[in-house]
Amino acid sequence: MKKGNKWEDHYSRRAKQEKWLARSVYKLQEIDKRYRLVRRGDRVLDLGCYPGSWSQYLLKAAGKRGQVVGLDLLEPIHVRAANFRFIKGDIHSIDIRWLVEEIGPRDSVLSDLAPKTTGARATDAIRSLELAEKAMAIAIALLRHQGHFLCKVFEGEEVKGFREALSHYFGDTRAVRPAAVRKGSKEIYMLGLRFEGG
């Protein structure tokens, strides 16, 4: 391990070797292997896509006939593919009707959105939940029938209510903590499987 870089670990070294843009890819990979969220030809929306490892993974999983749209405040300049489109924007101010018209229905909507952490657990949990709620509203507007939704959220009291809300729209819900989540992190991933609307 490089001296002085407390964040470097097995997953970040492996990500460099395997040419992924971030170690976060292993979280998605683990969840996708277990739940088969993405298939060949799928149209996927990747919320909070910068620096781009999830989009890289999704482009591989969906293949050439698939289509990946990424949205973030920051442009993932190293993700390049004919079937990748980047939308620069703030999830809090994006017009969902515009997004529906612009990119059409999605087979899955994935969100790795995370707020800049302040260190104050309660504040961070609330900000993360606000992002998750916006991601859920977008998923509900864009998912096709039986599509899937994956969403990062920081653990806290309110997560129960979020899962409860998900259960009204999806055939099944799960809370998953992939092995690549750092020790001590409050991150978990909520899954809504088989969208019942659309």
54 near ligand SAM, rule: CB under 6 A: yes
Question: Given candidates 81, 87, 114, 175, which one binds ligand SAM under the rule CB under 6 A?
Answer: 114
CB–CB of 147/169 below 8 Å? no
Two structure tokens written together for 75: 């442009």
73 near ligand SAM, rule: CB under 6 A: yes
Looking at beta carbons, which residue is closest to ligand SAM? 48
Q: Which residues of 27-55 are buried (b: 16+ CB within 10 A; e: fewer)?
A: bbbbbbeeeebbeeebbbbbbbbbbbbbb
Which one of 6, 152, 160, 183 is the catalytic residue? 152
51 near ligand SAM, rule: CB under 6 A: yes
CB–CB of 103/69 below 8 Å? yes
CA gyration radius for the chain? 16
**Distance between CA 179 and CA 188 in Å, rounded?**
11
Q: How far is the CB of 15 from ligand SAM (least distance, A)?
A: 9
Only one of the segments 37-45, 72-80, 160-168, 170-178 lies at the binding site for ligand SAM (rule: CB under 6 A); that segment is 72-80
Write the CA distances from 96 to 22, 72, 138, integer angstroms.
28, 15, 6
Q: How far is the CB of 75 from ligand SAM (least distance, A)?
A: 10
Of residues 139-198, those binding ligand SAM (CB under 6 A) = none
79 near ligand SAM, rule: CB under 6 A: no
Q: Is 152 a catalytic residue?
A: yes
Question: Given candidates 26, 43, 52, 166, which one binds ligand SAM under the rule CB under 6 A?
Answer: 52
Two structure tokens written together for 111: 């969100």
CB–CB of 12/36 below 8 Å? no
Question: Given candidates 31, 38, 91, 159, which one binds ligand SAM under the rule CB under 6 A?
Answer: 91
Q: How far is the CB of 112 from ligand SAM (least distance, A)?
A: 3
Nearer to ligand SAM, 156 or 198 (CB): 156
CB–CB of 124/130 below 8 Å? no
The catalytic residues are: 152
Give the footprint of ligand SAM on this chain (CB under 6 A): 21-22, 24-25, 48-54, 72-74, 90-92, 112-115, 131
